[in-house]
Structures are given as structure tokens and as C-alpha cells.
Structure 1
């Protein structure tokens, strides 16, 4: 499974002076997302023709404590292996895994997807589940980091032991709303962001067992490259 169509040509990273960082509001390229709410009063985001409700951390934890929802970790297998919500299942965005746990679940199962960015991958996976007939799918608004910050149950490394790196890049403004994917070369860890109106994007990276010499793969809408984490964080990434 590939995250997206791989670009035919691999570009070369160009690192220039730092510019302003951008937020990452996940929206479908062809439909507005963002500030709408559903019948429960939750904010929603649109993706792939589906409307995904963003469940607040407190409500998600109530469901967790009452065993009223299944939790899906939509990050890569490496991130899941390093640390995840206790009892959560791996179901990597956008399409899940080969033996995806959802294959055994009824369509009325309440599902909470989560990631660490804080919910871009979670919304992607949730939209796929909704498109496949599941009726009660939510993305965790505050993401995995919000869960760990609250001290809720996890398995594996503590969140504090995994450093956060910031990558700032530039694409063409023509690609506003399209995705930028960052992954380890074995694709076991991944993060995504979106291109903003001015062509800029920002990735906040929390990968386990990486350092400045680790080579990562970055795929923007108009270029793709492999570079070390140190190179990617030393300035603005461009084609």
C-alpha cells in the first residue's frame, strides 16, 4: 500500500532561509472543511466527501473508560510499536493494514481514530471508514499528544522521550490543500501536512529512534526527495 501516487521524478532538496510557520487545518481538496459542527456539537472536518466529527479528549476518554468505543492508531507501525493508547489497534491511514481489525467489526461500532499531528491522519482514516459504511466514526481532536499530556493510559515509550522536530517547506500555491507526506524509508512512521494558500507547509515530526543523520522521504505535490532529518530541519525545504 502506498500513501499516495508516487511522483515520477525525485527532486532535490533546497534548503533556504527560514520563513513563517503555518497551521495545518485538514480539508478535502474539493470541499470546505473546518468550523462546521455536527448534531452532537462537535467540530467537523470534510475529507473525501465525508464529514468527520472531531471528538474532544474528555468525551473520548469517557467512552474509553466505559468500553464504549474502539480506538484506532492511524500512524505507522513503527510509531504504534513505540507507543500507543492502551488497547488501541493499528490501522494506518489512509487504508488500514492487511489484517485490519475493522474487517471484523459491525458497521455501527463506535470508532475513534487518532494520530499525533494532531488529527490529520486520523481524519483521513476516519473518512475512509465512513466511505466504507461505518456509521459512528470520530477523530480525536487533540490527538495522541493530548492523550499522553492528560496522563491517560498508554503502552510503550513515554511521549516525553520522543523529541519533536519541525520541518518547514514550500510548494506551489497552486497546490493549496494538497498533502505533503513525510516518512521513514521503510514507511513504518509517517506524518502529513497540507500546503497553505501561499504554498508553505509545516510538519511536526515525532518519530521514534531517529536522529539528525536519519534519512527520510518527503513527498510534496510537486516534488519528492530523500534527505537527512538534519538537512530537512536546517531551513526551508523547496524543490
Structure 2
């Protein structure tokens, strides 16, 4: 039986930007949580649920109708506050779906979550398609809810009845020391910021993709045509990334992209 360690960790990160530093299917989740330490869960049986906690929070009412919403691809997506999501998670009343790329998912993720990347990157073997349409599903990403909003919108459009995007995003989950799993949960990451300009309509998404790995980020275009992509990354500055706006695609190293404003005229 494949078994994995779920680690509860904190996070510190510097923020780098232009010019430098900006200073699978299944029932309710199995496994056992060891308080705030490491926990072990059967890898094949999580089905999007977190490990069983030692203490289950008392039942309380949540007015999900009061949640703020954001429109993605013409679909209104409710943004669930992290306090409510963690309450559901501890009570195993929501399935967690990671909307990022597979390399990010393998590196570190919410313990028990499944990979369900945002469109157009959703995998053919997406485990969410086997879940009932009346399941409560929470999608998450790190930007903080652009990729997760796109994935949630697609699920809502497909007929899923109770889908939310985690409002504060994965970084807040990590910073609070909530349960994580993955191969690199102890790695210190730097947050890089890529600024750009596009002539496309406001609200359209700009995607950031690592050229040699499945790593994704997204950001909306503002009313003035500007956008700001954030990447949480522990790799080298010479790693190649592609910025895909609706009106252009450019490629460059992480160092080049963070030290120059990106536009259709960008040259690495």
C-alpha cells in the first residue's frame, strides 16, 4: 500500500518583482490525523477528503449565500473563506480539488486533495468526473483564486451543484500550518511577480506556464490593460516560462520576465 506523510508546516517567502525585491472517488476521508504533527493517509483512498482529525469541530451553520462571488468565463463562482473551508475539511464535509499544474501538485498540496487542473489543462483522467454532482467541492490554487475560479466555473457549468473556490488561496492555507502533503513541503519558496500589459478585454486571463514542467499561474487583465502574475517557486532564475495573453505569447527566463515589463513587444 502506497502511504504518504502529510506535513504541517509554516511558510516564509520573499517577494521578487520588476526591478528586484518587493520586500479519487470514494467515501468520507480515511486515515488518522496526529494533532498538529505528521499524519499518514492511504494514498489511493482519500477521494479529495482530508485525514480524519483527532477532534471534530462542533456543527455550526454557514450562510454560503452571503459569500462574495467572482465571474469566470461567464459563470459566477462563490468564494469560500478559509475558516469555513477548514471547518468543512476537518469534518470531512468537502472534497478538495487542486486547480494548479501537476508539478505544483506533486510538490506540495492540501493533504488528501486531488489534481483537477483549470481548463484548458484539466487532465483526461480527472478524478472529479467520478464524483456525484451534489457533492460539496472546494477548488484551490495559489494566485489566490484565478485558476481555482476557472476550474470551479467549469464544474458549475457541468452541473455540479455546490462548488466553491478557496478565497484566500493555497498560500494562506500553507501559512496557517494546515495539513499538507507532497515531495517538497519543506522547501523555502520565493514569490516572483511578473508585470505586463495587454490590449485584450478586461477580465480576460493571462496564463503563466513553465516550459519544461507542468506549473501554472494565472491573472486577470485589469481595466487599464495591466496584469500581475505571481509565481511561488524554489527553482533557478534561468528557468524558462511562457506568458500567454489573449493577444500574444512570449517566452523568457524567470529573471528576464521579472525584470522587464511584459507586452507583445517583449524580447528575451
Q: TM-score range by the shorter chain?
A: 0.7 to 0.9
Larger radius of gyration: 2
1:183 aligns with 2:209: yes
Residues 189, 207 of structure 1: 8 Å contact kept:
no
**What SS does the aligned partner of 2:132 have?**
coil
* 1:187/1:221 CA distance change after superposition, 3 Å: farther
- Mind listing any 5+ residue stretches in structure 1 that lack a counterpart? 1-16, 22-37
Higher RCO (CA < 8 A, seq sep 6+): 1
1:72 aligns with 2:97: yes
Distance (whole Å) between structure 2 residues aligned to residue 144 and residue 158 of structure 1: 13
Aligned to 1:158: 185
Q: Displacement of 1:39 after TM fit?
A: 5.4
Distance (whole Å) between structure 2 residues aligned to residue 234 and residue 123 of structure 1: 28
RMSD: 1.9
Residues 148, 159 of structure 1: 8 Å contact kept:
no
Distance (whole Å) between structure 2 residues aligned to residue 71 and residue 148 of structure 1: 14
Moved over 4 A (4+): none
Aligned to 1:25: none
Decide which of 229, 232, 235 is 2:257's aligned counterpart: 232
Distance (whole Å) between structure 2 residues aligned to residue 175 and residue 93 of structure 1: 20
- Mind listing any 5+ residue stretches in structure 2 that lack a counterpart? 1-17, 23-62
Decide which of 166, 183, 186 is 1:140's aligned counterpart: 166
**What SS does the aligned partner of 2:148 have?**
helix
Decide which of 208, 214, 232 is 1:206's aligned counterpart: 232
Distance (whole Å) between structure 1 residues aligned to residue 80 and residue 219 of structure 2: 20
Decide which of 117, 123, 127 is 1:92's aligned counterpart: 117
1:170 aligns with 2:197: yes
Distance (whole Å) between structure 2 residues aligned to residue 228 and residue 221 of structure 1: 20
Q: Displacement of 1:237 after TM fit?
A: 1.2
TM-score of the superposition, structure 2-length normalised? 0.72
Q: Displacement of 1:196 after TM fit?
A: 1.1
Aligned to 1:27: none
1:131 aligns with 2:151: no
Aligned to 1:194: 220
Instruction: Count the aligned residue pairs.
Output: 203
* 1:60/1:101 CA distance change after superposition, 3 Å: same
Q: Displacement of 1:187 after TM fit?
A: 5.1
